[in-house]
Amino acid sequence: MTEDENDRYRAPALDKGLDILELLAAVDGGLTQAEIAKRLDRSTNEFYRMLDRLVKRGYVTRIDGDRFALTLKLFGLAQLHAPVRRLASFAIPLMRELAEASRQANQLVVFDRGYPVVIAQQEAPGYWGISIRVGSRISLFDTGSGHVLLAFRTKEEREMMIAENLGSSGDQAKVTPEFMARLDQIRSRGYEMMPSAQTAGVINLSAPVLGADGKAIAALTVPYITLINAPGAPDITNTIHLVGETTRKLSEMAGSDFTTEVR
């Protein structure tokens, strides 16, 4: 279809609303109406009625008086998508078993619109553990989950995922030959084990949930902390084996004949 034929079916008001949603999704702290207009290279008056409707429909909220930010309504709609909802429902009982066996928290993460997104979270059974809110968007380059989601994809798919992320984050400096080689190493050994880039003393242990085509549809991550005075708590080596066993079961539920061996 030519550009002229595409333009024939344009819906300017819809495009304007989607432009606003996509812009607000890429920033923290919200934007004023003037800032939105400037970033989208439009006049301020063009967005007044659109912002008003988005606020009334619950997709956008006002913060600090004159700033606009996304609500969680879009995330809620995404959660209604059957494959994601089914994956989370299958995973939660196994995540609970993993938390009990490892005495650590864990989370399930999928790739969505350029970012890894937490779709399920299981707290640690004891007093201490690292948790992250469901719905959080996390780094593709600085987390175990992000590394695993990239590692268990084809070269072409990795490039597409990275390009989609860079369209929002502009983190091009992290895409190095060393980083790409690390992804191959993760795929070879079946999991990622790396110090957290966000919290000192935490080691991220991440393994893939594989689909029927052998590609990662999700990553399961334990933010491992060393427990003091906790007799019988698994060490880090045994914990990564527990993570691998859990993802193997989840992969089977997803219809995968592929397995990853924790080495």
In a shared domain, residues 105 and 224 = yes
Same domain, 60 and 112: no
Q: What pLDDT digit, counting tens, does each position of 177-219 carry?
A: 999 999 999 999 999 999 998 888 899 999 999 988 888 999 9
* Beta strands at 115-122 and 60-63: parallel, antiparallel or unpaired: unpaired
Residues 114 and 213 in one domain: yes
Are 158 and 218 in a shared domain?
yes
Q: Are residues 13 and 58 in the same domain?
A: yes
For residue 25, give the amino acid letter: A
Task: Count other Cβ atoms within 10 Å, centred on residue 101.
Answer: 16
pTM: 0.68
Strand intervals (E) in 159-234: 192-195, 203-210, 216-224
- Same domain (yes/no): 54, 167: no
Same domain for 142 and 32: no
Residue whose entry in the numeric block shows the structure tokens 């009982």: 93
Residues 82 and 12 in one domain: no
Round to whole Å and give the CA distance between 151 and 111: 12
Q: Which two tokens stand for residue 62?
A: 């006002």
Structural domain boundaries enclosing 226: 77-253
Radius of gyration of the chain (CA): 21
Q: Could you say which DSSP state residue 27 is in?
A: -
User: 242 and 195, same structural domain?
Assistant: yes
For the CA atoms of 110, 163, 211, 235, what is the dihedral angle to 10 degrees?
A: -60
Which residue matches tokens 């009625």? 49
Q: Three-state SS for 110?
A: strand
What pLDDT, on the 0 to 100 scale, is given for residue 75? 65
**Gap between the Cα atoms of 89 and 93, Å rounded:** 8
Residue 30 has pLDDT above 50, yes or no: yes
Per-residue pLDDT, 1 = 46
Residue that is last in its domain, among 71, 95, 130 = 71
* Residue 20, in any domain of the structure: yes
Rounded to a whole number, what is the distance in angstroms from the first to the last CA of the chain?
49
pLDDT of 228 reads 81
Q: Which DSSP category does 163 fall into? A: H
CB burial class (10 A; 0-12, 13-18, 19+) of residue 207? buried
> Domain for residue 258, yes or no?
no
Higher pLDDT, 58 or 188: 188
Give CA–CA dist 235/36, Å, rounded.
50
Q: Residue 184 in contact with residue 190, Cβ under 8 Å?
A: no
Q: Are 32 and 68 in contact (CB under 8 A)?
A: yes
Domain count of the fold of the chain: 2
Between CA 111 and CA 90 the distance in angstroms is: 18
CATH number at residue 193: 3.30.450.40
Q: What is the mean pLDDT of the chain?
A: 86
Distance CA 95, CA 98 (A): 5
| pLDDT for residue 227 | 82
Strand partners, 110: 117
Q: What is the CATH number of the domain that holds 34?
A: 1.10.10.10
